[in-house]
Amino acid sequence: MTDQDTTHFGYRQVPKKEKARHVGQVFSSVASKYDLMNDLMSMGVHRLWKRFTIELSSVRPGHSILDIAGGTGDLTMQFADRVGADGEVVLADINQEMLEVGRDRLTDRGYGGRISYVQADAENLPFPDNHFNVVSIAFGLRNVTDKDQALREMTRVLKPGGKLLILEFSKPVNPLVSKAYDAYSFTALPIMGKLVAGDSESYRYLAESIRMHPDQETLKGMMEEAGLVQCRYHNMTAGVVALHSGVKP
């Protein structure tokens, strides 16, 4: 098997055609505790990262929004509030369990008829060209096998002038922060995952997948290669997380 046939799953090399299944098993395992673990892992700061993402989106009433890897719907709900009754919001996720948790959560909060739910692969989006004003993907791109193909697909479904937003763990800009972050990720996260979700291995994978994700400048270049312009990024929490944005010309 050649390097072209394999990809990384955390620090392991696996056949490309099997990565989606491995990632699916991780998220099926953690779906029911996903929101609780997000709050614990980030000490609640993930809410501020997502709020900044919404503010940067410039979403207005009547817009069409696609939230890829939308999971339990944190961004989806806020997009729905902003687009209003005349807008369109689609929560897409490749994982059926995550999609069900998100649908149940949003239905319980009164969003039932305002959001569409689609099980979809970011590398092959089942949507027409030039359809959405905003496409977002939060903490999902690092799990995609072919990131370049996914970026091309996200660009394809954007309207001209539409914006892609990628919120993702990235590379800390301070060496001391980086060292502390490594210690936390590979020690505390698996322990937390074991105690709260009954699954330390899935959270070990999540820590590894963050380290294997492209750094800020590399991802910016990949977005430009996909055809986006005005590509930039904002580091948050000393670069632990970065929000990338780009516009379809």
Beta-bridged to residue 137, according to DSSP, are 68, 166
Nearest residue to 68 via CA among 135, 151, 132: 135
Q: Which residues contact 160 (CB under 8 A, 6 or more apart)?
A: 130, 248, 249
pLDDT of residue 54: 97
Write down the pLDDT at residue 153. Answer: 98
pLDDT of amino acid 152: 98
The SS3 call for residue 168 is strand
pLDDT recorded at residue 2: 47
List the chain pLDDT tens, one digit each, 249 residues: 445 677 765 566 757 766 667 555 655 555 555 666 566 677 778 999 999 999 999 999 999 999 999 988 999 999 999 999 999 999 999 999 889 999 999 999 999 788 999 999 999 999 999 999 999 999 999 999 999 999 999 999 999 999 999 999 999 999 999 998 888 888 877 787 677 667 678 778 778 888 889 999 999 999 999 999 999 999 999 999 999 999 999
- Written as one letter, the residue type at 86 is D
Say if strands 6-9 and 12-15 run parallel, antiparallel, or are unpaired. antiparallel
pLDDT at 10: 58
Q: Rounded CA gap, 70 and 110, in Å?
A: 17
b/e per residue 203-212 (b: at least 16 CB within 10 A): bbbbbbbbbe
Instruction: Give phi and psi for 91, each to the nearest 5.
Output: -95, 115
Look up residue 19 and give its two tokens: 């990565």
Identity at 178, one-letter amino acid code: S
Architecture of the domain made up of 3-173+204-247: 3-Layer(aba) Sandwich (3.40)
93 is annotated as contributing to ligand binding: yes
Confirm whether residue 122 is marked as ligand binding.
yes
The type of residue at 73 is G
Number of CB atoms found within 10 A of residue 76's CB? 28
Residue 121 annotated as binding? Answer: yes
